[in-house]
Amino acid sequence: MGFRQDFEPLALSELHGFAESRRAEGWRYVQTLAVLTEEGVDLVYSFMKDGHLANSVVSIGRDAVVPSISDLFLAAFVFENEIHDLFGVTVEGIAIDFEGSFYQLANEAPMTILSPEQAAAREKARKVAAAKAAKAAKEAGGASDAPAAEGGLEAKLAAMDPEKAAKVRAAMEAKAKKEAAAKDAELEERLKAMDPEKAAKVRAAMEAKAKRAVSAEEGGE
Amino acid sequence: MGKATVIPFGPQHPVLPEPLHLDLVVEDETVVDCMPQIGFVHRGLEKLVETRDYNQFIYIAERICGICAMGHSLGYAETVEELMGVEVPKRAEYLRVIWHELSRIHSHLLWLGLAADAFGFESMFMHCWRLRERILDIFEKTTGGRVILSVVKVGGVARDIDAGQMSEILATLEGIKSDYGALMRTLLTDSSIKNRTVGVGAIGYDDAVALSMVGPFARASAVNYDVRSFGRGAYGDLADFQPILDNQGDCYARVKVRCLEVLQSIDIIAELAAKMPAGDIAVPVKGSPADGAQASNVLEQPRGECYYYARGNGTKHLDRMRMRTPTSQNLAGMATALKGCDLADVNMIILTIDPCISCTER
């Protein structure tokens, strides 16, 4: 007997009827679990027959009411009480309903609480994935947007009256210098607020970085 | 008929060192209804997967339960490998199964000892645990740990068993076999044991199927279901694997199935040791599971089928890791088996189901 598994989506309205047909066809009930998602919760119902592990994924919102299948499979009462206590999912008509006291917990629905570190890690992963996708798209697309914009500015300046163009250039440089100076001032202020020992360390690190950048440039040339 | 009375059983009870509470509704000496209650040791281990990377979590997975430690690390590793599409070397698969079957022997011997203790056969308890100690010695020699082995990792195993160690293991198992044969004869033929177990807490085939029971509890009711018979991993290379079944469904049948499974496990280890292929014991695993990727897995633990589920989110941390242990699947069966039994048989019935509540609550 071989083994295979699959995942299929299932609508919440079809859940009870689906479980009924599985029971009639002689499938064995394996388990129910919940996964926290951005929009709500995914419930995974698993059934097994002849080595085929079939998982049905029911995506629900935060305030959805889920019908119990413990009238068909009594073993489901454990998992339905569990997803109620840990994920805050409302399950209606559980054969043995503990009404929220199945687990003795300090927090309500602890599996839905995301720590700030966890949320930050997920945000970072999302950004990295987006950057990777953008890079891939850029490589696939050939010409990119940013250099085109710069090129556009240069073309505009070239088309202008040379005196005016020089003025614009000078203004842009002055603006860049001013911004850099403001940044330096801000940094200086922050360093002053810091513990002197730490500030010294930060300064040394910055100098080293600048030196490295210069030497890299020289090496490059 | 007398008046119905509720007797609380557990969570601290001399017969069962597990935090399981039962409200037993009794009329005279007969249990007419039973309400199981768990939830005293929920540790939130599944939640920890969010703050540990997928390689670190294996050490938490095996701390879910002290008896099925090897099984949980194996089930978890297989699920992550499925999630990431990692192919494990053949030798690692063999080594994993050998350790897993050794832990089945140790779990069943521990259980037989506890069962003997429950029906007041204390010397049998000592003898079973004496044999179990030799299995723990094998663990200590081959992995360095007696209970928490930390030998499975994502992509293979951390240690090899060389030919010398393997022949030592086989010699030890051969030695255990003869001692164990004598114990088993007593367990299965002694009249005082039969008085406590035959016809007690019987569950028929139809009920066992309807209640989705798993493991030796189901196999004692003639349910032909054992994950090992799917032939995954090294189990696929066994010449012949037939689950051990009984059709009585009572406490005696459950004792018998577990007794015979110990011998079956010894045979599996001997066969795999003879067929052991050479080669690597692990492959390097790099990268992270893809965002939204999901995988499930089943594994035959000593107590029955255990279900694992994992979902990735593109980082080294998983979004969700879930273990559905055999005991949580068998709670409904346990409550049904207790209905109609004598109050004095409650401990025997619960023990022959071999519940593990810390596994169940995680």
Distance from the A17 Cα atom to the nearest Cα atom in chain B, whole angstroms: 17
Provide the token pair at B285: 């695993």
Any B CB within 8 A of A75 CB:
yes
Q: What pLDDT shows up at residue A217?
A: 57
Provide the token pair at B56: 């670190």
Judge residue B344's burial from the number of C-beta atoms within 10 Å of its C-beta, 0-12 exposed, 13-18 middle, 19 or more buried.
Answer: exposed
Candidates B300, B309, B323, B334: best to mutate against A (most CBs of A within 10 A) is B309
Among A48-52, A214-218, B118-122, B178-182, name the one with the lowest average pLDDT.
A214-218
Interface of B with A in 12-31 (CB under 8 A): none
CA distance B143 to A92: 48
**Interface confidence (ipTM) of the complex:** 0.86
CATH of domain A4-112: 3.30.460.80
Any A CB within 8 A of B224 CB:
no
Taking only the tens place, the pLDDT of each residue in B315-349 is 888 888 888 888 888 888 888 888 888 888 888 88
CB atoms B307 and A30 under 8 Å? yes
Q: What pLDDT shows up at residue A220?
A: 45
B27 & B89 share domain = no
In CATH, what number is assigned to the domain containing residue B92? 1.10.645.10
Helix (H) or strand (E) holding B222: none
Mean pLDDT score of chain A, rounded to an integer? 79
Any A CB within 8 A of B165 CB:
no
B86 & B191 share domain = yes
User: What are phi and psi for residue B300, nearest 5 degrees?
Assistant: -85, 100
B319 & B339 share domain = yes
Q: What pLDDT shows up at residue B100?
A: 92
**Partner residue opposite A118 with nearest CB, options B38, B50, B209:** B50
The full set of domain ranges for chain A reads: 4-112, 166-220
B269 & B173 share domain = yes
Distance from the A143 Cα atom to the nearest Cα atom in chain B, whole angstroms: 28
Torsion of CA A121, B57, A46, B37, to 10 degrees: -110
Asked if the structure places residue B151 within a domain, the reply is yes
Q: What pLDDT shows up at residue B97?
A: 92
Beta bridge partner(s), residue A92: A67
Q: Provide mean pLDDT across the span B157-175.
A: 90
Mean pLDDT score of chain B, rounded to an integer? 87
Count up the domains in chain B and report the number: 2
B248 & B327 share domain = yes
Single-letter amino acid code for the residue at B18: E
Among A7-16, B74-83, B89-98, B350-359, name the one with the lowest average pLDDT.
B350-359
Contacts of B105 (CB under 8 A, 6+ apart): B132, B135, B176, B262, B265, B266
Q: What pLDDT shows up at residue B23?
A: 87
Any B CB within 8 A of A36 CB:
yes
Q: Provide mean pLDDT across the span B289-297.
A: 85
Say whether pLDDT at B35 is over 50: yes
CB atoms A78 and B332 under 8 Å? yes
Q: Provide mean pLDDT across the span A70-85.
A: 88
In this structure, are residues B21 and B9 in contact, taking their beta carbons and an 8 Å threshold?
Answer: yes
B304 & B293 share domain = yes
CA distance B21 to B10: 4
B93 & B10 share domain = no
Say whether pLDDT at A198 is over 90: no
- More reliable by pLDDT, B110 or B359: B110
CA distance A205 to B239: 66
Say whether pLDDT at A156 is over 80: no
Torsion of CA B285, B55, B272, B267, to 10 degrees: -160
CA distance B62 to B157: 14
- More reliable by pLDDT, B184 or B12: B184
| Closest by Cα among B101, B108, B68 to B257 | B108
pTM over 0.80: no
B95 & B1 share domain = no
Among A149-153, B185-189, B246-250, name the one with the lowest average pLDDT.
A149-153
CB atoms A111 and B46 under 8 Å? yes
Q: What pLDDT shows up at residue B257?
A: 92
Taking only the tens place, the pLDDT of each residue in B69-96 is 888 999 999 999 988 888 899 999 999 9
Instruction: For residue B29, give its domain range.
Output: 1-41
Say whether pLDDT at A191 is over 50: yes
B62 & B30 share domain = no
Vertex A154, ends A151 and A158: CA angle to 5°?
140
**DSSP 8-class letter at B38:** -
**DSSP 8-class letter at B252:** H
Taking only the tens place, the pLDDT of each residue in A24-60 is 888 989 999 998 887 888 899 999 988 888 899 998 8
Any A CB within 8 A of B295 CB:
yes
Any B CB within 8 A of A51 CB:
yes
Q: What pLDDT shows up at residue A147?
A: 47
Place of tokens 């067929």: B275
Say whether pLDDT at A218 is over 60: no
CB atoms A1 and B320 under 8 Å? no
B23 & B68 share domain = no
- More reliable by pLDDT, A110 or A82: A82
Vertex A50, ends B355 and B356: CA angle to 5°?
10
For chain A, the farthest-separated pair of C-alpha atoms sits apart, in whole angstroms, at 87
Say whether pLDDT at B281 is over 60: yes
Provide the token pair at B189: 């033929």
B60 & B190 share domain = yes
Q: Provide mean pLDDT across the span B102-110.
A: 92
Task: Categorize the per-residue pLDDT at B133 as very low, low, confident or very high, splitting at 50, 70 and 90.
Answer: very high
Among A5-9, A64-68, A185-189, B148-152, name the one with the lowest average pLDDT.
A185-189
Using only C-alpha atoms, what is the Rg of chain B? Answer: 21
Provide the token pair at B99: 């350790």
Asked if the structure places residue B98 within a domain, the reply is yes
B87 & B152 share domain = yes
In this structure, are residues A38 and B319 in contact, taking their beta carbons and an 8 Å threshold?
Answer: no
Beta bridge partner(s), residue B199: none
Any B CB within 8 A of A107 CB:
no
β-pair type (A90-92, B4-9): unpaired
CA distance B348 to B251: 7
What percent of chain A stands above pLDDT 90? Answer: 4
Q: What pLDDT shows up at residue A148?
A: 47
Q: Provide mean pLDDT across the span B259-268.
A: 91
Distance from the A171 Cα atom to the nearest Cα atom in chain B, whole angstroms: 45
